[in-house]
A = this chain, B = another copy of it.
Amino acid sequence: MSMANGTQPPSSPQPLSPQTARSLVDSVEAFLFDCDGVIWKGDTLIEGVPLALQALRSLGKKLVFVTNNSRKSRKQYAKKFASLGLDVSEEEIFSSSFAAAMFLKLRNFPKEKKVYVIGEEGILEELTLAGFSCLGGPEDGKKEIELKNNFWFEHDKSVGAVVVGFDQYINYYKLQYATLCIRENPGCLFIATNRDAVGHMGSQECPGAGCMVGAVAGSTGKEPTVVGKPSTFLMDFLLERFQIETSRMCMVGDQLDTDILFGQNAGCKTLLVLSGVTSLSDLQHPTNEIHPDYYASNVVDFVELSRNCPL
């Protein structure tokens, strides 16, 4: 895609020019990056990203990595960054698994209550780190129940929250457990890490957390509190942590309905990169109603453009 030929009407998103890229960098104190499709694709780093991030850091910009993927904890993500040659600290990573734990912490969720998890290791690790007792997750992945009239399914009455995220080992046992907690334990919270319809396995789509969340919404008749993108919970948390106005932040992502919507909901500047799931024709499609402030082919191009503009 050529950045130079953009002749969009003024209301449409603009491809970055050296001038607009430079002005974006100058007006922003913190860049919030989505990870998959922006920093890496699956387990492969997008070429040039380490230098691009280093260039932003050398200008004094704060970098934050915001991902809806709840399969890993912050610690596990920091390892992934390191294995790809990127120097990113745990404190710079905001995964939806961490968001779920922070949501409960900020609500003063009682420590004597338990949390039932439909999801993978990352959620359990973050909840445990935050001091909560968890049930479910991977250890319930092989459990089955017998649908017989004389069978009585026991669930823990002290479960006060159910957290639902992506779970490759979703099964009826977990769905039954979560359903009984939400329907029968008074005041039990229903928290979703995110509702992304699909994730990506290489170049193929596969059901995302929206699938597991939809199942529990379907069996409980309740709508969850979403803590990941595009909900602004994570942003409220970031604001308190960094004390930077959202107008001086820029959300950089590859998905319109999570990343860009999240940035817009929070009042950030928004930059769509075309290195992930959204193509230029998706962006320009007449049915698309989510318009980022700018778009660029990828993060590296954006940083390069900004450096090519004379002061």
A residues bordering B, Cβ < 8 Å?
A: 42-44, 145, 147-153, 167-172, 175-176, 179-180, 183, 195, 197-198, 201-202, 204-208, 210-221
Cross-chain contact A172 with B175 (CB below 8 angstroms)? no
A196 to chain B: closest CB distance in Å?
9
Residue of B nearest to A172 (CB): B168
A157 to B171, CA, bound (A): 26
Cross-chain contact B219 with A210 (CB below 8 angstroms)? yes
Given contacts A172-B207, A175-B207, A176-B207, 7 further A-B contacts (CB under 8 A): A147-B168, A150-B202, A183-B205, A197-B221, A207-B215, A210-B219, A214-B215
Q: A152-B202, A168-B147, A172-B170 are in contact. Are A197 and B220 (CB under 8 A)?
A: yes
A38 to B168, CA, bound (A): 38
Q: How many copies does the complex hold?
A: 2
Complex contacts, A183 vs chain B, CB 8 Å: 198, 205
A153 to chain B: closest CB distance in Å?
6
Q: A170-B170, A175-B170 are in contact. Are A219 and B197 (CB under 8 A)?
A: yes
A179 to B197, CA, bound (A): 10
Residue of B nearest to A180 (CB): B205
Complex contacts, A147 vs chain B, CB 8 Å: 168, 201, 206
28 contacts between A and B (CB under 8 A): A42-B149, A43-B149, A44-B149, A145-B206, A147-B201, A148-B202, A152-B202, A152-B204, A153-B201, A167-B172, A168-B172, A170-B170, A170-B171, A172-B207, A179-B198, A179-B205, A180-B204, A180-B205, A197-B221, A198-B219, A207-B215, A207-B218, A211-B218, A211-B219, A214-B214, A214-B218, A214-B219, A215-B215
